[in-house]
Structure 1
Amino acid sequence: MWSLFRLSALSLSVVVLAGCSEPRVDTSSMPAAVVSVEKVRESLPTYKRDEFDQALTIMAMSSFDGIDILNPQPLNAAEIAESANAHMHGLTGDEVIEKANEMLRNRRARERQQALNILSRLEEKQARAEHDREQRERVTLDSAEFYMSTSPYGALEPVIELAVTNGSDERLSQLSLSGVITTPGREAPWVDEAFYYVIPDGLAPGESAEWRLAPNRFGPWGNRDIPDGAQFDVTIEAIHDEEGNPLWDAPALSERQIERLEALRDEYGVMDDRSSE
């Protein structure tokens, strides 16, 4: 009798526990998902239901690429059921909420790391460009002159005279330059041409040299209408070492890259500031 009473009590407790178990989301089919989601929602306190709805939306939207789960748009029960996935199957209401929060934390962490990686790359690129610009500026054009000279045969020939100092630590073999000739009152330049000069025996660090170049007289440089005293401006576009390899040619950031860098710095700070973290 005592054993039968104990067995009956135990059986009753199992039934009670089974009856009190929390409802769980069932995504085995769309009808099951619709019914189970509603049951789980009703089992939650009123103050948790909005959070549950948002959590379901986040988990449903996570199945789609390109969807921003950090800013979820509300879905109805049918839409949730249609996009239901294994993330929510078998979970209680509280577990759904916690799972969604975990997904958001992971997504934010990934996006933060991606942003920091972009910030690091842009800062490194900017630093290389600044370093290379400073190195290029150590190779200076001390003077530049353009004029027409008369050849031994009586023909006018263009002449470019340059004085250059190599203030860098590299031996130079070639300069690529750009020359522009203008006069006041004339909108278009007389000449806007790129040219280069291969340096005989190279230009050693700390060394200066003067060169006399003879550009093609049949091209823009040979235009006889260029007046005496026209403004001649020369810039160094590229420099090559003694092996002929380009030196200090890292490009500057584009306008778009600068805007992106500034936005990331506003949000995350400068990478160097976190190097000690």
Structure 2
Amino acid sequence: MRRMFAAGLVTLMLAGCGGPKLDGTSDESLTSSLDKVTADLPQDKKAQLLEDLKLITFSNIGEALSGQVSAEQAKNNVRTTLNGKTAEDVAVIAANLRTERALKEKQQALAEIKQLQDIQQAAQIAKVEMAKFQILKSEFYFTEKNKNSAAPHGQPVVVAKVKNGTTFSIARVGFKGTVASAGRATPWFVGTVELPIPGGIEPGESPTWEITPNQFSEWGKLDAPAEALFSLEIIKLVGADGAVLFDASGLTPQQTERLQALQNKYAVN
């Protein structure tokens, strides 16, 4: 008899401490019941409840925007989710949504990290293979050709003597040029250019090319001290069939920064 009485008392106590509940049977009843639920809440808990309600609402709106449900269905889902819920119930629902969102964001971040790392790894492998395609000589200068106010330096020219030490016929070559001064950490200039090769370059051949980048590009704006040194490296080789054989372009500065930020956030190497 005592056990039955105690169990009944606990049930009554639990029912009494739940507090007022939201009524999601209609938009009007939800609004009026929200006033009742928040009436006796401290300001900080009221603010938290409103944040939790926003999260639940926007979660359903997101499903509507992605086409998973209609806008009307999304609104009904919000009312159904909130119907009969106390402020504590809403907090639990919102906490679960935050956990799910954080997990999804982490999964997406890890996938992006792998993708960026794969690009880095492929670039390193490509560099090893492309070392067989040698640059025997490189030079950079400007000519007076087409010199004008928009291109005050004239026509940029890159001279490259190369040797195809690979076993492939090469139809297109991607170069990266760097102008830097000794003792200076940041180069004056880093630019890329691709050169189509009419007839291609066969294994063992060693031609000399004069490449003329667009004078209105960054190449044409290059302005560095006379003592600065120019270096050239191969970053891409395209075969006779038009397929990329090797690409050592690697990550862009923006991608490198993004990878570092994601690795730091999720403690991934």
Q: CA deviation at 1:108?
A: 1.4
SS at match of 1:247: strand
**Matched length:** 192
- Alpha-carbon deviations, 1:40-86, whole Å to 9, x = none? 334768874443333223223333339xxxxxxxxxxxxxx999533
TM (norm. structure 1) is 0.52
Please list, as runs of the form range in 1=range in 2, the aligned pairs for 1:100-249 lying within 5 A after superposition.
100-142=94-136, 164=163, 166=165, 171-174=167-170, 176-177=172-173, 194=195, 196=197, 198=199, 202-203=202-203, 210=206, 236=234, 238-239=236-237, 245-249=243-247
User: Which deviates more from structure 2 when the two are superposed, residues 49-58 or residues 22-31?
Assistant: 49-58
Counterpart mapping for 1:10-89 below 5 A: 20=16, 22-42=19-39, 48-65=45-62, 85-89=79-83
Q: Are 2:23 and 2:84, in contact at CA under 8 Å, matched by a contact in 1?
A: yes
Q: Matched residues in 1 for 2:160 and 2:40: separation?
A: 89
Once residues 44 and 94 of structure 1 are traced to their aligned partners in structure 2, the CA distance between those partners, rounded to angstroms, is 11
* Aligned-residue offset at 1:261: 1.7
CA contact 1:23–1:43 (8 Å) conserved in 2: no
1:258 aligns with 2:252: no
1:149 corresponding residue in structure 2: none
Q: Secondary structure at the match of 1:64?
A: helix
SS in 2 for 1:91: coil
Let me know the Cα RMSD of the aligned residues.
4.6
CA contact (8 A) 1:26 1:89 kept: yes
Question: For 1:70-125, what per-residue CA distance to the aligned partner results, in whole angstroms no more than 9, with x for missing partners?
Answer: xxxxxxxxxxx999533212212221111111111111111222222222211212
Q: Which amino acid aligns with 1:40?
A: V
> What's the % identity of the aligned pairs?
22
Alpha-carbon offset, residue 247 of structure 1: 1.3
Give the TM-score normalised by structure 2.
0.53
Amino acid at match of 2:129: Q
Which residue is equivalent to 1:92? 86
Distance 1:30 1:111, change over 3 A: same
* Stretches of structure 1 lacking an aligned partner (at least 5 in a row): 1-12, 67-80, 146-159, 180-191, 216-232
Partner deviation per Cα, 1:201-248 (whole Å, 9 max, x = no partner): x53xxxx555689x9xxxxxxxxxxxxxxxxx9865653568775311
**Which amino acid is the alignment partner of residue 168 of structure 2?**
L
Give the SS at the match of 2:60.
Answer: coil
Against the structure 1 CA distance between its residues 26 and 239, is the aligned structure 2 distance closer, same or farther, given a 3 Å change threshold? Answer: same
- Unaligned segments of structure 2, at least 5 residues: 1-8, 64-74, 140-158, 176-192, 211-230
Cα distance in 2, alignment partners of residues 253 and 82 from structure 1: 46
Q: Would the aligned equivalents of 1:141 and 1:165 in 2 still touch at CA under 8 Å?
A: no
